[in-house]
Structure 1
Amino acid sequence: MSERILIVDFGSQVTQLIARRVREAGVYCEIHPFNRVSVDSIREFGPKGVILSGGPASVADFGSPRAPQGLFEMGLPILGICYGQQTMCEQLGGKVEPGDHREFGRAMLQVSGEPCALFDGIAAKGDEVQVWMSHGDRVTAIPPGFKVVATSEGAPFAAIANADKRFYGVQFHPEVVHTPIGKQLLSNFVHKIVGCAGDWTMKAFRAQEIAKVRAQVGSGRVICGLSGGVDSSVVAALLHEAIGDQLTCVFVDTGFMRAGESEQVVSVFRDRFNIKLVHKDASGLFLDKLASLTDPEKKRKIIGATFIDVFEEEAKAVGGADFLAQGTLYPDVIESVSFTGGPSVTIKSHHNVGGLPERMNMKLVEPLRELFKDEVRALGRELGLPADMVGRHPFPGPGLAIRIPGQPLTRENLDILRKADSIYLDEIRKAGLYDEIWQAFAVLLPVRTVGVMGDSRSYDYACALRAVTSTDGMTADFYPFDMAFIGRVANRIINEVKGINRVTYDITSKPPGTIEWE
């Protein structure tokens, strides 16, 4: 990653999208919060170019965020986006004022200036293109050496350029999908202005990360908690390629997996990849501890604590290790250094094996900490993991235990839910909808309803189906199945799953609901 872009984060909610677009252009980049960026840290990072993100502050406010003043003397190409453009102008001698005409949402951009490398192949003088605006303040005077490239109704300096110094600013947000030209504009910046070759690929990352793991681990031993999810599966495959038999994976089978998943984990990693795998069937232990519980928070805490106990016991049984492998992803890293808040306990406990490093006195190996989720999937494909494993929907750590709300867990109701869930996902795959949906699953409700099956009265469980679309899981909309599909799934579940006689579909979005029921 000799070619890299630094993104200075001023607190925009969509800063991560800038990084994703830059990486889609084949260039490695990292996000650093503005209050941890200095001239020295920039030199240490060694970027070929810098992007200043948007942010919620007003440049006119006392003490509002600024880029290091010395950045503008380093000879690096710079692109300022929204707030990034405003602070660049303010710091270089321009002027920013609160606007009497705010712009939020779609706007039309008039390209009005001389040819500009940012708009090369996108638009020429006189063209009009759609962009996405989100600003109250606006630039009212540009610094010396800058020229106007484009305007909009509420932004007379919607795009500006100092081609000699390779400084550029845009008031709109090119990183969001609502700016159709945005992806190409960011590509123009990193390729045509900064001069990056764009050769950062998963193949290159794979080779680089394998070398890093070998250098870090040396002759030490590594233990990895394998859940069967995408993150831990990719970590295990990468580490095995890097250090072979120095890696031991521990798969703690809680009994709360979906149909066939436990068998797939063992088959793929022990048989196909020949990885040293400890498969601990602890389903009886977990059921015993949860037998009388219905409170979701208590269930989560007991499952987490029990998992740690079992994992630690199995790790000791294989002789311990020097390193613990975790599936920390780049969004976790970004959040942990955010200037607007500290580490997120929820995200950390979801992605990582919480509590283990302190108790087990091991160093961490985190080979995915520079990747976004979609890049982890791409790396999984590069490593040869099965497509259905790499593309698997998110699955909660407690598994099916939190999809049986309001009732004690038993092998019987887990089996009922597992069968219903399997039928539902089977029909989604047959309809070619699996990859369109972020997450889909069945829930076994704590309700029994009267039904008629044949000529007999039935009194069985009701089942709810859930499917949502999302980009990051923070917000979600229900998936708009046609009713013929829902009818087909319901008919199969009622006919094939003994114990269910009624099926409903959950059309709650997030917010106000959550994706999971517990």
Structure 2
Amino acid sequence: MIVVVDFGSQTCHLIARRIREMGVESRIINWKERLPLENLEGIILSGSPAFVDKAGAPSIDKKIFELKVPVLGICYGMQLMAKLLGGKVGEGRVKEYGQVEAVLKPSALFRGAVGKQKVLMSHGDQVLKLPPGFVNLGRSKNVSNIAMSRGTLWAVQFHPETTHTENGKKILKNFVLGICQAKKTLNQSQWLKHQVQLIKAETGKERVIGGLSGGVDSAAAAAIVYKAVGDRLRCVYVDTGLMRLGETEQVEQDFKKFFGKSLVVIKAEDKFLQALKGKIDPEEKRKIIGKLFIDIFEAEARKWGAKYLVQGTIYPDVIESAKGDGIAQTIKSHHNVGGLPEKMKLKLIEPLRDLYKDEVKKIAKQIGLPEKIINRQPFPGPGLAIRIRGEVTRERLERLRQAEAILQAEAKKFTLPKDLWVNQAIYVPLLTTGVKGDERVFEEMIAIRSLTSTDVMTADWTRLPYELLARVSSRIVNEVKGINRVVYDITTKPPATMEWE
């Protein structure tokens, strides 16, 4: 077993997931917990938003390094290892965020990944002086010490668990299977059967209500519960008025084929728009939407006599909403996690809570969900409300729907990357100068954001064809009233998030 010590990292669970993909058991523990020694084969120290020299920063007993068990420090984990063992950590000349070029030296950790490598960095502090006995294993343009080792102790400043470290999986595999000699014990095919059994035991003969958003997460969660409880499940889709053009009609058509009479559609546009009137803070908007969803679900649950609510929460939702140990930072509250009210009358069932999006899609295929649902582009539960910067109004929603429809229609005419995750339009209520019909106009803008990704935790901006961007821009400024400018967002995640809000 490999134990991952969590210091509040946004990608801690991704480390454990990578280990699980190798067929090796992994367990995440909070840095305050006692280290489990039974069957311990290796230890990984995660990253953190904290600074090692700051008062109250998370730490561990340095006796962990005397256990004669291989230890790998990642980012903050490297800095903490260096500090505890006599090195020096501090702010360097340059902070590194995003993909950078590194040079890695030959070692057991970097077997098959030596020389120039693209790695993902996300740090301000760095190891300025190695602890006694450690050797340098790598550098980047701006940081001298990005990897180090001594005996069974290893550390890297970059994040091998992310897809944007080009040989990250290989490096982790070298540590887990090579250095630690960990045993393969997991059989992932048993996951679905185990979940169904857990849900049956939890719900007994009670009725269940499932919240559907139109995406694969909520559909897969509901389908798993459906296998466990059958016709005791009622699925509820809420038309918030914050949906894309034709979204509700398409969802109703697709989902009735799978869930049949158990699907109920609730029209609630006026209720949501009234609640959002005048609201401009992204967190406030998300929490208002989360509360309204629960109010509606609880009302439907009373009609159905249900005591449980199924949600398609996946692990990135949990991470970004920072529902953890108090060290992790809230990136944004997801309507189905951080946006939920503190007191709820329904008990939650979240079978996908520990999975990533690509894992969910595999489960969805195993269950037999239609390909159209599985491959639908991700769309956030709060809908277009978080793709409009500032206040949500009917006029802005209509303009954004038009722009989004143009983007999707034009994109279908091109061959795009297989790992394309999302193409989306964002409404930016910023007045800029333009010229229309030989007259000067002050109008607002639309931003286009397109991303490629595997697990949502990291993403790269899509190199869309210039011809596609040209067509989209031309159509939007000519067809969407009140828009005179289109911009393209070329920021990776991190440092940016997928959504603008």
Which TM-score band applies after superposition, normalised by the shorter structure? 0.7 to 0.9
Relative distance call for 1:445 and 1:83 in structure 2 (3 A) is: closer
In the alignment, which of 258, 267, 285 is matched to residue 281 of structure 1? 267
Q: Could you tell me which residue of structure 1 aligns to residue 18 of structure 2?
A: 21
Please tell me the residue identity of whatever aligns with 1:354: L
| Paired position in structure 1 for 2:60 | 66
Q: Which moved more, 1:423-432 or 1:186-195?
A: 186-195
SS in 1 for 2:234: strand
Change (3 A) 1:215 1:50: farther
2:86 — aligned with what?
96
Equivalent position to 1:271, from 249, 257, 266 = 257
Say if 1:264 and 1:99 are closer, same or farther in 2 by CA, change over 3 A. Answer: closer
Which letter does structure 2 place at the counterpart of 1:328? T
DSSP-derived class of the 1:255 partner: coil
Contact 1:249 1:275 in 2 (8 A): no
Could you say which residue in structure 1 is the equivalent of 2:103? 108
Whether contact under 8 Å (1:86, 1:96) holds in the other structure is: no
Identity of aligned residues (%): 35
Q: Secondary structure at the match of 2:260?
A: coil
CA contact (8 A) 2:52 2:58 kept: yes
Q: Within 2, Cα distance between the matches of 1:185 and 1:178? A: 13
For residues 159-308 of structure 1, the aligned pairs below 5 Å read 159-161=149-151, 167-173=152-158, 174-176=160-162, 180-192=166-178, 193-197=180-184, 199-201=186-188, 203-274=189-260, 276-286=262-272, 289=274, 293-297=277-281, 303-308=289-294
**Aligned pairs for 1:19-58 within 5 A:** 19-35=16-32, 37-39=33-35, 43=38, 49-54=42-47, 58=52
CA contact (8 A) 2:318 2:337 kept: no
Structure 1's 257 and 220: CA in aligned 2 closer, same or farther, altered over 3 A? same
* 1:322 paired residue among 307, 311, 318: 307
Letter in 2 for 1:66: I
Q: Distance in 2 between matches of 1:482 and 1:221?
A: 50
Q: Structure 1, residues 159-209: CA drift from partner, whole Å, max 9, x if none?
A: 344xxxxx44234544355654432131133334333327553x4322222
Q: 1:229 to 1:47 in 2, by over 3 A?
A: farther
Is the contact between residue 461 and residue 501 of structure 1 (CA under 8 Å) also seen in structure 2? Answer: yes
Aligned equivalents of 2:75, 2:390: Cα separation in 1: 48
The residue correspondences of 1:109-128 to structure 2 (distance < 5 A) are 109-111=104-106, 116=108, 118=109, 122=112
Report matched runs for 1:499-510 at 5 Å: 500=481, 504-507=485-488
CA distance in 1, matches of 2:82, 2:431: 62
Q: Tell me, what secondary structure is at the counterpart of 1:328?
A: coil
Find the residue that maps to 2:325 and give its secondary structure: coil
Q: Structure 1 residues 194 and 444, CA, compared in 2 at 3 Å: closer, same or farther?
A: same
CA distance in 1, matches of 2:390, 2:331: 25
- Structure 1 match to 2:413: 430
Structure 2 unaligned regions, length at least 5? none
Q: 1:6 to 1:282 in 2, by over 3 A?
A: same
1:338 to 292, 307, 325: 325
2:343 to 336, 358, 367: 358
CA distance in 2 between counterparts of 1:60 and 1:408 reads 40
Deviation at 1:367, TM superposition (A): 0.9
**Matched residue type, 1:53:** S
8 Å CA contact 1:330, 1:370 repeated in 2: yes
Bigger Cα Rg: 1
Structure 2 CA distance, aligned partners of 1:62 and 1:494? 52
In structure 1, C-alpha distance between the alignment counterparts of 2:102 and 2:442, rounded to whole Å: 55
Given that residues 406 and 475 in structure 2 are in contact (C-alpha distance below 8 angstroms), is that contact kept between their aligned partners in structure 1? yes
Aligned pair in 2 of structure 1 residues 302, 10: CA closer, same or farther (>3 Å)? closer
> 2: distance between equivalents of 1:478 and 1:438?
10
| Shift in alpha-carbon separation, 1:269–1:241, aligned structure 2, 3 A | farther
Contact 2:242 2:385 in 1 (8 A): yes
C-alpha change, 1:369 and 1:476, in structure 2 (3 Å) is closer
| Conservation of the 8 A alpha-carbon contact between 2:207 and 2:308 | yes
Computed over aligned residues only, the root mean square deviation of the Cα atoms, in angstroms, reads 4.7
> What is the CA-CA distance between 1:7 and the residue it aligns to?
0.5
Give the Cα–Cα distance (whole angstroms) in 2 for the partners of residues 489 and 156 of structure 1: 42
The 8 Å contact of residues 59 and 87 in structure 1, kept in 2 or not, is answered as no
C-alpha distance in structure 1 between counterparts of 2:405 and 2:147, whole Å: 56
Partner of 1:488: 471
C-alpha displacement of 1:38: 0.4
Q: Deviations over 1:288-321 (max 9, x none)?
A: x369x354347666555544433322221222x1
Q: CA deviation at 1:236?
A: 1.0
Compared with structure 1, are the counterparts of its residues 72 and 368 closer, same or farther at alpha carbon in structure 2 (3 Å cutoff)?
farther
Structure 1 residue 226: Cα displacement: 1.5
Instruction: Give the letter aligned to residue 414 of structure 2.
Output: A
Distance in structure 2 (CA, Å) of the matches to 1:31 and 1:22: 11
Q: Residue type matched to 1:506 in 2?
A: V
User: Which piece of structure 1 moves more, 216-225 or 507-516?
Assistant: 507-516
Distance 1:329 1:345, change over 3 A: same
Question: Which stretch of the first structure deviates more once superposed, 238-247 or 59-68?
Answer: 59-68
Distance 1:189 1:327 in 2: 33
Aligned residues of 1:82 and 1:135 also touching (Cα < 8 A):
no
Quote the Cα distance in structure 1 between the aligned partners of 2:164 and 2:210.
Answer: 41
Q: Is the 8 A contact 1:286 1:306 kept in 2?
A: yes
| Number of the residue aligned with 1:164 | none
Question: CA distance change for structure 1 residues 87 and 405 in 2, over 3 Å: closer, same or farther?
Answer: closer
Distance 1:47 1:386, change over 3 A: farther
Write the letter of the residue equivalent to 2:34.
S
Please state how far the C-alpha of 1:8 moved relative to its aligned partner. Answer: 0.8
Task: Write the distance in 2 (CA, Å) between the matches of 1:420 and 1:88.
Answer: 50
Specify which structure has the bigger relative contact order, considering alpha-carbon pairs within 8 angstroms and separated by 6 or more residues: 2
2:4 matched residue in structure 1: 7
Secondary structure of 2:296 counterpart: helix
Task: Say whether the 8 Å CA contact 1:160–1:170 is kept in structure 2.
Answer: no
Paired with 2:76 and 2:313, the residues of 1 have a C-alpha distance of: 30
Unmatched tracts of structure 1, length 5 or more: 143-147, 162-166
- State the shift of 1:490 in Å: 4.3
- Counterpart residue identity of residue 214, structure 2: G
Partner Cα distance (2:348, 2:253) in 1:
27
Alpha-carbon spacing, 1:464–1:99, altered in 2? closer, same or farther (3 Å): closer
Distance (whole Å) between structure 2 residues aligned to residue 327 and residue 100 of structure 1: 41
CA 1:83–1:290 in 2, change beyond 3 Å: closer, same or farther? closer
1:225-246, CA deviations, whole angstroms, 9 ceiling, x for partnerless residues?
A: 2121332222112211222222
Aligned residues: 474
Residue type of the partner of 1:337?
A: G
TM-score, normalised relative to structure 1: 0.73
- Confirm whether residue 141 of structure 1 aligns to residue 128 of structure 2: no
